[in-house]
Amino acid sequence: MTDKNHDINKLCDKCIKECKQPYNATLIACPNYKKKPKQLEFQFKFRKVN
């Protein structure tokens, strides 16, 4: 079974639209491109108080 992310273009992989292009298509720009939001994770380090 092939990986879905490998079958689509790298630019389209980062887009929320449904018009995904194949990985072997050469894209220069996309007028419908809307970037996917990313979940940010922060790691906090706390000092122990005596």
pLDDT at residue 1 greater than cutoff 60: no
Q: For residue 31, which amino acid is it? A: P
Say which residue, 8 or 49, is predicted with more confidence.
8
Please tell me the predicted confidence (pLDDT) of residue 5: 55
User: Does pLDDT of 25 surpass 80?
Assistant: yes
Distances in whole angstroms, Cα of residue 12 to Cα of each of 20, 40, 42, 49: 6, 21, 27, 49
pTM for the full predicted model: 0.53
Q: 3-class DSSP state for residue 35?
A: strand
Average pLDDT over residues 27-46: 88
Q: What are the sequence ranges of the domains in the chain?
A: 1-30
Mean pLDDT of 7-21: 90
Mean pLDDT throughout 33-46?
Answer: 87
| Residues with Cβ within 8 Å of residue 12, at least 6 apart in sequence | 19, 20, 21, 27, 30
